[in-house]
Amino acid sequence: MRELLYLKDENLKEFIEKLFFAYRETFSDAKKTLDKYSIGIAHHKVMHLLSMYKGITVSRLLKKLKITKQSLNRVLKDLIKLEIVSLKKGKTDTRLRHVYLTIKGEELFNQIFSIQKKRIYSALLNSSFKEVLFFDNVLKKIING
C-alpha cells in the first residue's frame, strides 16, 4: 500500500502542475521566434505535426489537434499567407487536401525545434535510461487515457 502514496490527490495535483510547467517552458522557448512572424502556439502545433506527418490530410490533422475546422482554417490561412504551409489536392481523391510545410516552413520549424531540443536533450541527458523509458511510458499512458 505504501507504494501507492503517490496516487493521493495532492501528489496528482503536483504532477499535473509539473506537466503544465514543462509544457509552458518548452513552448515558451519558441515564443521569440514565433513572435517574429506574428504567430503563436496554435500555429506551432500545426507546424510540429506537419513535420511529423508530411502530407497529412486536413481531416486527419483536425483529429490529431482535436480542434474545430474553423480554428484550423484560421491557422492554416495565416501559415499559407506567410508561405510556411502549402495545401495540395489528393492525387487519387481530389476532395482530400494534404498539408505540407514549405521549405520556408521547414526552416522555421527547425529553428524552433533546435531551441526546444536543447531543453529536452538536457533533461534526458541528465536522466538515467530507466527514467527516460519510464517517463516515456507514463506519457504514452496519459495520452492514450
pLDDT digits (tens, 9 = 90+) for 94-106: 889 999 999 999 9
Q: Extract the C-alpha cell encoding 141.
A: 499512458
The confidence score (pLDDT) of residue 124 equals 92
The confidence score (pLDDT) of residue 59 equals 95
The confidence score (pLDDT) of residue 4 equals 65
pLDDT class of 6 with cuts at 50, 70, 90: low
When pLDDT is averaged across residues 117-144 and rounded to a whole number, the result is: 91
Q: What is the pLDDT of residues 44-64, one digit of tens each?
A: 999 999 999 999 999 999 999
pTM for this model (two decimals)? 0.86
Share of the chain above pLDDT 90, in %: 71
Instruction: Give the chain's domains with CATH numbers.
Output: 8-144 (1.10.10.10)
CB neighbours of residue 15 within 10 Å: 14
CA dist., res. 96 & res. 59, Å (int): 8
When pLDDT is averaged across residues 91-117 and rounded to a whole number, the result is: 94
Q: Which residues of 83-94 are buried (b: 16+ CB within 10 A; e: fewer)?
A: ebbbeeeeeeee
Are the CB atoms for 82 and 37 separated by under 8 Å? yes
Name the more confident of 29 and 107. 107
**How many CA atoms does the CB half-sphere of 107 hold within 13 Å?**
6
Rg of the Cα atoms in the chain: 18
The confidence score (pLDDT) of residue 43 equals 96
